[in-house]
């Protein structure tokens, strides 16, 4: 039996994951990996394990940001980009770095600006060019969230010892380089992702 039983087509990972989590008993945490069997190709099982770990960690981070800071991961990510660039970034550059549409960046920026966490800066030579930067309040808020975020990640990865982490880091770098090479070799490919 395949991990994907809907005629061989891979489901949308987000919708499938949401469905599995919502339909799961309270005591069991379901994910895409739980649908595999030993008969499934080892590479498929490995990929689903990587995806399951990523989704679980991301879920924890999203939940903690919401509970402790009443914010979202996309807002945190946008502020993280701005913290690295104190003079601000153009909206188009934020969109590229976050790998989301300009409309998404505009919506998040609108929210953060209403809360006085960011400010828009218009280019005097071309008013169509808009940059965004953190305000002093935004920078202080982000640094508080970032410090907590770091502690959460350390806690979430505490099940691995330092040797495990270093080995995994090297293996994932090798995988990332291979996938990047394949992605850039594809006709019409303009990006290998992050």
Residue ranges of the chain that CATH labels 1.10.10.10: 72-168
**Could you tell me the pLDDT band of residue 189, with boundaries at 50, 70 and 90?**
low
pLDDT digits (tens, 9 = 90+) for 161-188: 999 999 999 999 999 999 999 988 877 6
Side-chain half-sphere exposure of 18, counting CA atoms within 13 A: 4
Long-range contacts of residues 153-158, Cβ cutoff 8 Å, at least 24 apart = 153/57, 153/61, 156/57, 156/60
Sheet strands (E) in the chain: 89-90, 118-123, 126-134
Mean pLDDT for 38-42 is 81
Q: In this structure, which topology does domain 72-168 adopt according to CATH?
A: Arc Repressor Mutant, subunit A (1.10.10)
pLDDT digits (tens, 9 = 90+) for 114-153: 999 999 999 888 888 899 999 999 999 999 999 999 999 9
Residue 32 has pLDDT above 90, yes or no: no
Task: State pTM to two decimals.
Answer: 0.75
CB 146 within 8 A of CB 58: no
Residue 17 has pLDDT above 60, yes or no: no
| Weakest mean pLDDT among 24-28, 42-46, 76-80, 129-133 | 24-28
Mean pLDDT for 62-83 is 97
Residue 191 region by backbone torsions, left for phi larger than 0, else alpha for psi between -120 and 50, else beta: beta
Q: Name the strands in the sheet holding 118-123, side by side, starting at the edge strand that comes first in the sequence.
A: 89-90, 126-134, 118-123
Highest-confidence segment of 46-50, 122-126, 157-161: 157-161
Percent of the chain scoring above 90 in pLDDT:
64
């Amino acid at each position: 039996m395949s991990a994907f039983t809907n005629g061989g087509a891979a489901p949308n990972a987000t919708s499938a994951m949401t469905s599995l989590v919502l339909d799961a008993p309270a005591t069991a945490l379901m994910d895409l990996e739980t649908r595999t069997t030993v008969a499934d190709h080892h590479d498929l099982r490995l990929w689903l394990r990587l995806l399951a770990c990523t989704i679980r960690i991301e879920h924890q981070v999203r939940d903690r940001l919401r509970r402790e800071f009443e914010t979202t991961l996309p807002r945190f990510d946008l502020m993280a980009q701005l913290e690295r660039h104190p003079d601000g970034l153009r909206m188009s550059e934020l969109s590229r770095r976050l790998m989301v549409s300009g409309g998404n960046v505009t919506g998040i920026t609108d929210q953060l600006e209403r809360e006085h966490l960011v400010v828009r800066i218009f280019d005097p030579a071309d008013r169509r060019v808009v940059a965004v930067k953190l305000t002093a309040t935004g920078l202080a808020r982000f640094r508080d969230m970032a410090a907590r975020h770091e502690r959460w990640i350390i806690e979430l990865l505490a099940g691995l010892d330092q040797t495990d982490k270093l080995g995994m880091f090297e293996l994932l770098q090798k995988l990332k380089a291979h996938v990047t090479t394949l992605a850039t070799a594809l006709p019409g490919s303009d990006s290998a992702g992050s």
